[in-house]
Structure 1
Amino acid sequence: MTEEMFVQISDCKLYAKLVGENTGKPTVIMDAGYGDFSKAWDSVIEDISILSNILIYDRAGLGKSEKGSNPRTSREMVKELKELLIKAKIQPPYILVGHSFGGVNMRMFATEYPNEVCGLILVDSTPEDYRERFLSTMSQEFQQAYNKQFVLEGNYDEFMESLKQLKETRLKLHIPLIVLSAGKKAHYSIESQELWNEMQREIREISSNGEWVIAENSAHYIQNDEPEVVVSAIKKMIDLI
């Protein structure tokens, strides 16, 4: 089954696609990284759709979704996703999967709606202290390139505001959590990679039931470099629930 839809929320229409065999298992909701949209999951969607229904969508202003007037911060994105799920009649409980910045959104969604979420998978997700603890250790060239990327969806300040929101709303979760981290990041020194691993390992601590997995041969897009790692994590989560 594949159902494509344009769902009216607040002041714009969001594109979403529901894929899968209705197995009676929780629906998997997938959120892509900064500036990315639903196509970011193409490499894994077919394999996951055998396990359960999946909802992928384009955040406002990306892919096939209309641009909205709300600030491009995680708090607004979580509200918009919640409205999308209600309007599209996608019933909880949900397994949330977030890549990179999408992981920030999914962590906040799990904190905001704890009774609707039964599992969380973070795919090389951005830690809340990324700027202070990680970005500051990188070369000027890396930092400049990083700052210049914020033109697709919200600006640098909105992105950093999202990390601040994540820090402020952080609560201990009591749902299964799987943290997947990239073990072969591009342009990282040995020290940078070790720091990244450490920060990813610490994300595991946000749940009383957390697991941390390093995708040894992956750069940032684990779903492209080692799709089986992402599929296996989702399968494990579905089997747990």
Structure 2
Amino acid sequence: MIKEFFVQISDCKLYVKLLSETNGKPTIIMDAGYGDFSKAWDSVIGDISKLSSVLIYDRAGLGKSERSSNPRTSREMVKELKELLVKAKIEPPYILVGHSFGGVNMRIFATEYQNDVCGLVLVDSTPEDYRERFLPTMSKEFQRAYNKQFIYEGNYDEFMESLEQLKETKIKLNVPVIVLSAGKKDHYSNESQKLWNEMQREILEISADGELVIAKNSTHYIQNVEPEVVVSAIKKLNDRMS
């Protein structure tokens, strides 16, 4: 069963797609990467909806959702998602799944609303110290291209502010966390790839119950290249809740 609808939050309507009916298990909430929207999960959504109810949505200004006048920082996006879940009557607990920048949002959600969350899957998620520690290891050309990409939702400053907000959430989570790291990133040298995997491993420090999985053949969009890795991680957490 698939329901598509819009939810009015603060000053805009957000598009929501809810798949499957609740089976007594947590609802799986999925957040796409920077500039991406719900379609980013097309390759895995069918399999995931066999596990439990799944909610995917378009953040403000993306896909079918209206623009918001609120700042495009993670903290605002997390507030908007919480409001969406309350208004759509999607009851916790939730398993949160975030890709890339969506991982930043989901980590902040998990610390802001700890009682709502029972698991976290981070799919090649952006580390909080990406700009200071990782970006300088890449070519000037890569850095220029990276800095120019911020035109779809938040601008460069808002994106970096989101990473600062993430640094402020250094609370130990009491939920299981699975971190998926892309093992074959485009334009990465061996050194950069090694550093990336190491920084992904460090994300596990947010929980006493963490696991790193390196998707050896995947570029950044693990859900497209090795969808089974993403489905398997979500299934693992979902099975623990039964």
The TM-score bracket by the shorter chain reads over 0.9
Deviations 1:141-194 (A, max 9, x none): 000000010000110000000000000122111101000000000000000000
1:147 aligned partner: 147
Which residues of 2 match residues 106-117 of structure 1 at below 5 A? Answer: 106-117=106-117
Question: Which amino acid is the alignment partner of residue 133 of structure 1?
Answer: R
Distance 2:138 2:10 in 1: 39
1:213 aligns with 2:213: yes
Distance 1:229 1:99 in 2: 13
2:66 aligned partner: 66
Question: Which amino acid is the alignment partner of residue 139 of structure 2?
Answer: S
Deviation of residue 6 (structure 1)?
A: 0.4
Distance 1:22 1:139 in 2: 47
Deviation of residue 24 (structure 1)?
A: 1.3
| Number of equivalences | 241
1:204 aligned partner: 204
Question: Which amino acid is the alignment partner of residue 71 of structure 2?
Answer: P
Question: Which amino acid is the alignment partner of residue 9 of structure 1?
Answer: I
Distance 1:121 1:14 in 2: 23
1:47 aligned partner: 47
Distance 1:211 1:169 in 2: 20
Identity %: 81
Distance 1:38 1:216 in 2: 25
Which residues of 2 match residues 138-217 of structure 1 at below 5 A? Answer: 138-217=138-217
Instruction: Indicate conservation of the 8 Å contact 1:21/1:51, yes or no.
Output: no
1:122 aligned partner: 122
2:14 aligned partner: 14
Deviations 1:80-108 (A, max 9, x none): 00000000000000000000000000000
Instruction: Indicate conservation of the 8 Å contact 1:73/1:162, yes or no.
Output: yes
Instruction: Indicate conservation of the 8 Å contact 1:21/1:50, yes or no.
Output: no
RMSD, aligned α-carbons: 0.5
Deviation of residue 110 (structure 1)?
A: 0.2
2:23 aligned partner: 23
Deviation of residue 22 (structure 1)?
A: 2.5
Distance 1:194 1:162 in 2: 25
Deviation of residue 137 (structure 1)?
A: 1.3
Distance 1:40 1:172 in 2: 29
Deviation of residue 21 (structure 1)?
A: 3.8
Q: Which moved more, 1:30-39 or 1:203-212?
A: 203-212
Unaligned 5+ segments in structure 2 are: none
Matched residue SS, 1:41: helix
Matched residue SS, 2:208: strand
Distance 1:154 1:125 in 2: 17
2:4 aligned partner: 4
Deviation of residue 201 (structure 1)?
A: 0.4
TM-score, normalisation: structure 1? 0.99
Question: Which amino acid is the alignment partner of residue 224 of structure 1?
Answer: N
TM-score, normalisation: structure 2? 0.99
Question: Which amino acid is the alignment partner of residue 55 of structure 1?
Answer: L
Which residues of 2 match residues 65-84 of structure 1 at below 5 A? Answer: 65-84=65-84
Distance 1:101 1:48 in 2: 21
Distance 2:104 2:22 in 1: 28
